[in-house]
């Protein structure tokens, strides 16, 4: 029988109830996994018993996957309540990191898409947490203003999100969960302004130039909308980590396909071509 992750409750410093899902040896090095927009922890554990989180457990790590507020088993907003990307980074991620630190352990952080951006924004806003982190992996995570959605599409998404409580991702077949409208609106504002600045004025892009933990940025050659390789390379260039690496997953780099935004983690090809490179890097910092 395939083991199911155990779910624990976590309360953020602003009083929101989150769910964190854990699988593996509690004494092993923890790896905190964050999904991107339109998703939840099933992105990492898989829906049929196969997922990158389970690969990590088989390799001797403990996998932690966080359902961000508004997703999975975590608390949903009340009608009219506006949570944004800053809430993910400044409250959800930091609360999970402190929970792990309370156990006296230093995790490796892995985020996909907006999950990677939330991890990095949290470390940028709270540099005191950086010594407690072994390393950061950002898979298909763009610098906002290098996305091809910039312009008319970004303005349309921002305008729609400003009028809605949730962005209809399921209707648009973008993923299994609708998105917090505040998250979409804030991201598109960064996209259009060319500045990654938090609600309190923190310039995340500038702060990331002082990032200390080792960093690994991964791009998919076939990711043409959400995180094109130049947008991921732009993120890599921002990071000040003295130990950082960039991986381009495409045919011209020796892969069998040009990986896209989601299949860079979830596909059968990713299991044999991308996962081993991720786990090798995690072993390097763990």
- The DSSP symbol for 156 reads H
Whether 1 shows a pLDDT value over 70: the answer reads no
Task: Name residues whose C-beta falls within 8 Å of residue 21's C-beta, 6 or more positions apart in sequence.
Answer: 5, 6, 7, 8, 41, 45, 64, 65, 66, 67, 73
Residues in a beta bridge with 31:
63, 108
User: Measured between alpha carbons, how far apart are the two ends of the chain, in Å?
Assistant: 29
C-alpha 144: how far from chain center: 14
User: What pLDDT digit, counting tens, does each position of 194-203 carry?
Assistant: 899 999 999 9
User: What pLDDT digit, counting tens, does each position of 117-134 carry?
Assistant: 999 999 999 999 999 999
Domains and CATH numbers, the chain: 1-40+52-107 (3.40.50.1820), 129-143+207-286 (3.40.50.1820), 146-195 (no CATH)
Residue 85 is inside which H or E element, if any? Answer: helix 85-87
How far is it, in rounded angstroms, from Cα 121 to Cα 91? 11
How far is it, in rounded angstroms, from Cα 41 to Cα 46? 8
Two structure tokens written together for 162: 């400003």
Q: Would you say the pTM of this structure is higher than 0.85? A: yes
Distances in whole angstroms, Cα of residue 168 to Cα of each of 86, 148, 188: 20, 20, 15
User: What pLDDT digit, counting tens, does each position of 66-91 carry?
Assistant: 999 999 999 999 988 899 999 999 99
- The DSSP symbol for 197 reads B
Q: Is 163 helix (H, G, I), strand (E, B) or coil?
A: helix
Task: Name residues whose C-beta falls within 8 Å of residue 208's C-beta, 6 or more positions apart in sequence.
Answer: 120, 123, 124, 238, 239, 240
């Amino acid at each position: 029988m395939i083991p199911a992750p155990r779910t624990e409750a976590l309360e953020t410093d602003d009083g929101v109830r989150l769910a964190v899902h854990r699988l593996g040896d509690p004494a092993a090095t923890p790896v905190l996994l964050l999904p991107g927009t339109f998703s939840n922890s099933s992105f990492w554990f898989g829906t049929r018993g196969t997922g990158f989180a389970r690969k990590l457990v088989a390799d001797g790590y403990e996998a932690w996957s966080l359902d961000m507020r508004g997703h999975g088993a975590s608390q949903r907003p009340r009608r009219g309540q506006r949570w944004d990307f800053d809430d993910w980074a400044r409250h959800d991620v930091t609360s999970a990191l402190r929970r792990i630190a309370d156990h006296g352990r230093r995790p490796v952080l892995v985020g996909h898409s907006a999950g990677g951006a939330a991890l990095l924004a949290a470390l940028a806003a709270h540099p005191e947490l950086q010594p407690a982190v072994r390393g950061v992996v950002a898979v298909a995570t763009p610098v906002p203003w290098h996305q091809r959605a910039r312009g008319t599409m970004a303005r349309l998404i921002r305008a729609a999100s400003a009028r809605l409580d949730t962005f209809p991702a399921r209707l648009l077949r973008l993923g299994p969960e609708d998105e917090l409208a505040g998250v979409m609106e804030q991201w598109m504002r960064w996209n259009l302004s060319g500045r990654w600045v938090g609600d309190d004025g923190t310039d995340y892009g500038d702060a990331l130039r002082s990032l200390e933990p080792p960093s690994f940025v991964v791009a998919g050659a076939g990711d043409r909308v959400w995180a094109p390789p130049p947008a991921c390379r732009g993120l890599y260039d921002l990071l000040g980590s003295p130990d950082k690496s960039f991986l381009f997953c495409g045919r011209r780099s020796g892969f069998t396909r040009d990986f896209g935004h989601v299949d860079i983690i979830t596909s059968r090809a990713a299991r044999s071509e991308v996962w081993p490179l991720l786990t090798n890097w995690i072993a390097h910092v763990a």
